[in-house]
Amino acid sequence: MIAGKGSLAGTLLLVLSATAAAQVPFSLLVTQPGVSAITIQNGGAVTMGAAVGSTQTAQILITYTGTGQVTIPQQPSIVGSSVFTATLSGKPPLSLSPGSGATLNVTFSPTNGSQDTAQLSLSYVETLSATQANGGTISIALQGIAPTFSLYYILQTNLNAVALAPGGQIPFPATVAGATSQASLNVTNTGSGAGTVTGITITPGSGFSLQGTPPFPYSVAANGGNLQVLVLYTPTAVGSNSGQVTISFGSGPPVTVNLAGTGISPSFTYQLLNTTPPTVSPGGTISFPGTNVGGSSSITVHVLNSGTASGTVNSIALAGQGYQFATPPVVPQTLAPNGSLTFTINFAPTTPGSFPGTLLVNSDTFTLSGTGLGPLLVFSYLANGTSITLSTTNSSVVFSPVMITQSEQLIFDVKNTGTLPATISNIGVTPVSGPYSVAGTPPLPVTLAPNGDFELEITFTPTALGYSNGTLMLDATSVALVGSGTQPPPLPPYTITGPSGTTAPFAQPTIGLSLANAYPVAISGSLTISATGMLPADPAVQFASGGTTVSFTIPANQTAAMFGTQGTQLGLQTGTVAETVTLTPSFATQAGNVPLTPATPSTLQFTVAPAAPQIIAVQLTALSANGFTVQATGFATTRTLTSSTIQIAPAKGFSMPNSQFTFDLSQASALWFQSTASNAYGGEFTVSIPFTFQGLAANQSIVNAVSAVSVTVNNELGASTSMQATP
């Protein structure tokens, strides 16, 4: 435990007392160094912070706010921890007039890192008149917090946390020269207040270094806050090393930690157990016997520590095509003097020729040499009259740019330059549905004698702009195919058939689309409906298939657009709102989705004009003995209604004093069509008008009295056609 070290910034906290304190005729203003002044109530709390062995002082200005005279007869008393003291700035008894005050000096001097509490009390007597005097007490809760630090370290080798006293030592394990051992050094604040670490330094030039130090000063939280840094030990030679870490705090003396380590250097020799020569030195070559392609050979390496100290094989790695471990060796592995480890390297060539490789044991490097025996295929192709041979630096068949809808062919040659016959069982192109295809393959399987060859024809038919990649597969051998597609020919002129000019509302005309001339590849496209006008757009304006966008295709070398199962003609709805409807197409190649839409595409446009309302249906609802409701459903392209006229025809034998009625619909129409809810219905409306009749005999009903009801609806452009309903 490192007591009394670290620093704690002056802190003032106001905590409400759990028990309400009596009001006093004073204002209490608390100030601490580096902290803004805070007013507290009687019974409130003051929190003070200081490092162990140091002192923090708070000044409490007591100002009398009453109208009489106050006497403070004695010094304040403190009940609780003895680390708190308090004195008045003046010698009691003190007399205070309204507006005057006294200063109470409270000192906190912690002796350990635990939290301390106490209760300060200051008695007073307030004289209001010659016959009235009241006694009282100013009460303030005191709380003190302080940081205290402890140290521990954790070695990377065992991960055990070991407590560390000031001046103690971190013993690093014996470490191979050039390698690194690691310990984490932890500075933990076990106290009740935050503390500050102002710096961590290390003795330079001894093989020890620090890693992960934060910017200083660094604040460490109370009650278990921790600062961790790494101490690295990297010996450069055999022998003992020592060092020292110094930790400085915001207050109090610094603490030192000693470091100790030993550098060791084993000596490794390498034996080859099943080949000649039987040993190899770092930088030498390990030669494998000639090996058939598809077969394998192996060499076992024996690593012996011929030194006098233990050494660690930290890494064993292979590089080079055809080489792999029979069983990957387990590392790191520590070898005592005369200790050893053994591993086997397999050589499995996939093609004829020389195979260089590398074996790396720690920092010792060995060259691997092996030769693959068998056939060797060489590929070339003819482009613009020039034969191009593929190699590791030029491994792709490259086509000249080709316009989409066109094709290019290349002659591809396969030749066996090895010493054994080569057999090819499968030839093809991937992706199968891609832009590349192959023709002219010989009957398979085909066997090529040394220096034998055959030719293929590879065709590139691009479907997308820019580069397109493919692969020619000859059994497990792959050849990259690279080509680029250029802009296809422009789309021929096209015509959209359907309604034009002014079109009736609430109609379902059909539309179609056709090219002036056939296009050489299949086309995918879409038609999109958009409606514009002064009124909210009618969502009923859509295709018969649903929605405002419909897809179509135009097969290669044809002209008519096909709208799925709808064929070449597709219905649409014109809606019930006065607006302009536009059909805009887009086009792209079906394969590759290359855009073909003209910069300014031709569109189909028609208009639904403003007109008088139209009634779709009239019915009498809510029939009773003496009444009914007239319900008329229709639409108004202007989304306005002004009035409705209802004509009632009495049945034979009945008469009515008034058979025609006119109703003002302006207000109800405005409420409906200006509402958000009406936007989903376009220009549609339903008018319901109830009627009640009087004067019918007891044995009569409205069904007998009325033969028919006729309804018309008006807007500012005129009246609808009359529609009739019977009870």
**Cis bond before residue 277 (omega within 30° of 0):** yes
High-pLDDT (> 90) share of the chain, %: 74
Taking only the tens place, the pLDDT of each residue in 302-358 is 999 987 678 889 999 999 999 999 999 999 999 998 999 999 999 999 878 789 999
Judge whether residue 361 has pLDDT over 50. yes
- Residue 18: the pLDDT is 35
Taking only the tens place, the pLDDT of each residue in 74-126 is 999 999 999 999 999 989 999 999 999 999 999 999 988 899 999 999 999 99
Q: How confident is the model at residue 566, as a pLDDT?
A: 92
With a CB cutoff of 8 Å and minimum separation 6, the contacts of 142 are: 45, 46, 48, 78, 80, 81, 84, 106, 108, 116, 117, 118, 119, 120
Say if CB 572 and CB 582 are below 8 A apart.
no
What is the SS3 assignment for 248-263? Answer: EECCCCCEEEEEEEEE
Give how far Cα 418 sits from Cα of 413, 445, 449, 479, Å.
Answer: 15, 18, 9, 19
Write down all domains in the chain, each with its CATH number in brackets.
Answer: 26-145 (2.60.40.10), 149-264 (2.60.40.10), 268-373 (2.60.40.10), 377-486 (2.60.40.10), 494-608 (2.60.40.10), 614-725 (2.60.40.10)
Which range among 484-498, 576-590, 600-614, 699-713 shows the weakest confidence by mean pLDDT? 699-713
Given this model, what pLDDT does residue 353 score? Answer: 77
* Average pLDDT for the chain: 91
Q: Dihedrals φ, ψ of 134, to 5°?
A: -125, 135
Preceding amide of 650 cis, omega within 30 = no
Amino acid at 542: Q
For residue 704, the surrounding DSSP H or E stretch is: helix 702-705
Does pLDDT of 11 surpass 60? no
Say what the pLDDT of residue 450 is.
Answer: 87
pLDDT for 1 equals 46
Pairing state between β 604-608 and 579-589? antiparallel
What's the pLDDT tens digit per position in 561-607?
999 999 999 999 999 999 999 999 999 999 989 999 999 999 999 99
Whether residue 282 is preceded by a cis peptide bond, meaning omega within 30 degrees of 0, is no
State both tokens at 415.
């030749």
Instruction: Identify the pLDDT of residue 507.
Output: 95
Could you tell me the pTM of the whole model? 0.48
Q: Which two structure tokens, joined as six digits, stand for 367?
A: 């060259």
DSSP 8-state secondary structure symbol assigned to residue 381: E
Place of tokens 């008393």: 77
Q: What values do phi and psi take at 308, rounded to 5?
A: -105, -5
3-state secondary structure 264-280: ECCCEEEEECCCCCCEE
pLDDT band of residue 371 (cuts 50, 70, 90) is: confident
What is the predicted pLDDT for the residue at 6?
45
Check residue 681 and report its DSSP letter. G
Is the model's pLDDT at 141 over the cut of 90? yes
Q: What is the dihedral of CA 10, 14, 18, 22, to 10 degrees?
A: 120
Question: With contact defined as beta carbons under 8 Å apart, do 345 and 351 qualify?
Answer: no
